[in-house]
Amino acid sequence: MKRLLVFVLVVAVTFGVMAVTTPGLLDKTKLGLDLKGGFEILYEAKPLLPGGTVTKTSLNQTAKSLEQRANKSGVGEPEVTTEGNNRIRVKIAGVADQDKLRDLMKKPADLQFRSAYGCPADTKADRGYCKVELVGSDFVENAAKVSFDQLNRPIVSIQVKDKKTFADITTRLVQKPLAIYLDNVFLSDPVVQQPLTDGSAQITGQPDRASAEKLAQVINLGALPLKLTEKYTQSVGATLGKQSLHATLFAGAIASALILLFMLVFYRLPGLVACICLITYVWVLLGIFWLMGAILTLPGIAAFILGIGIAVDSNIITAERIKDELRSGKTLNSSLRAGAKNSFRTVIDAHITNLIAGLVLYFMGQGSVKGFAIVLIWSIVINILTNVFFPRLLLHLLIQSGKFKKLGYYGVKESEIRAL
């Protein structure tokens, strides 16, 4: 009787937690552009100056620049990834004015060093800095680095291409600030301490290492001699996205309901346990999505439903092995132990092969294929917990309670045993 109470308590607590948290998880699940509407662009990066090259570092930093621009425009959770040696894919969901954002995204990062030299007193320039002294292309690519002085204070070292011009600027601005802007946003205004004639400088005054690294990254970003060309564009309207979401969820709900009904009809008590575990699996996977901040797309939902199929297979294999043991004349306890033991290797082998396939898709795939692989991998991991070990625990509690001794509860007929 105690084990039956433990079973009821475990199920009640599990479903209680799910009932409380599921609405919040569903509300916080982020939808991709194919479900929410938006656009996807594949850019090809090319050198801005003749003879330049596109390096992996410059490509990654350009991708960060695109992500920062998308965030500043007010869109939520842009997805920016690099592909190959010179391509960047951008996915942005929930955008009202796509043309305006696309024009903004493909512009090179605008890094400027400004001074107040010669500015009128009533200037309307940001913070009074109106004269552009240096731009991003004046700096050596990837030359900005973070180091520390003797007092362990962070320093940003920079290097320019034209030493003479830099010397003239710093000589003119001794004891005056030289403000740093990226895309017309003020970042810092270090003061020039002395003329700099060797083409290099050190920027001090950053409060911590994180701030210094951010400033160095901004300067390197502005020095990137890259321009972006659109190679591929896909636009999805918000209405079409909602239709896709509703149709997919409706189909998934019908499939899930039929699966649960099938398990109950053919496997009785093990089927009931399987239904509990399948619902738990869906809830845990939603929780993982929320913790990861993942964006759900149509391929992701397809992998989600595929994971349900894999979970059902795990439960069916275990239930069938238990039925086989019962038909051989073994007791319920012996059948549970033997069935769980004999099915474990088969189930784990199947999960490992699916996991290998998911890993290959993740490391070799791009875009939506990679998203499908991520959901598939997590589905397999969660399946092992919720549909391999959890069902065995629940069945053990039910059988040990002594309240479910009839073979019919396990989908086995008395005639099948007598026929042996």
pLDDT of 126: 64
Other CB atoms within a 10 A radius of the CB of residue 154 amount to 21
Residue 250: which pLDDT band, with cuts at 50, 70 and 90? Answer: confident
Q: Quick check: 382 pLDDT over 90?
A: yes
Describe the crossing of helices 98-105 and 56-72 by its angle, rounded to 10 degrees. 140
Mean pLDDT of 253-282: 89
Q: Quick check: 339 pLDDT over 90?
A: no
| pLDDT tens figures, 202-231 | 888 788 888 888 788 777 766 655 777 888
Bigger pLDDT: 128 vs 27: 27
Residue 275, token pair as written in the block:
């239904």
- Top-confidence range, 87-91, 339-343, 354-358, 416-420: 354-358
Task: Print the SS3 string covering 351-364.
Answer: HHHHHHHHHHHHHH
User: How far is Cα 62 from Cα 44, in angstroms, rounded to an integer?
Assistant: 11
Closest CA relative to residue 88, chosen from 69, 74, 110: 69
Expressed in angstroms, the distance from the first to the final Cα of the chain is: 33
Q: What is the CATH number of domain 38-108?
A: 3.30.70.3220
Q: Quick check: 372 pLDDT over 80?
A: yes
Domain 111-223 has CATH 3.30.1360.200: yes
The SS3 call for residue 228 is: strand
Length of the chain: 420
Mean pLDDT of 367-371: 76
User: How far is Cα 265 from Cα 210, in angstroms, rounded to an integer?
Assistant: 60
User: How far is Cα 309 from Cα 391, in angstroms, rounded to an integer?
Assistant: 16
Q: What is the CATH number of domain 2-31+236-418?
A: 1.20.1640.10
Domains in the chain: boundaries: 2-31+236-418, 38-108, 111-223
User: How far is Cα 265 from Cα 292, in angstroms, rounded to an integer?
Assistant: 37
**pTM for this model (two decimals):** 0.62
Bigger pLDDT: 72 vs 278: 278
Mean pLDDT of 286-315: 84
Mean pLDDT of 110-129: 71
Q: Quick check: 237 pLDDT over 70?
A: no
Q: Quick check: 38 pLDDT over 80?
A: no
**Contact indicator for 263, 271 with CB cutoff of 8 Å:** yes
The single-letter DSSP state of residue 269 is H
User: How far is Cα 233 from Cα 33, in angstroms, rounded to an integer?
Assistant: 13
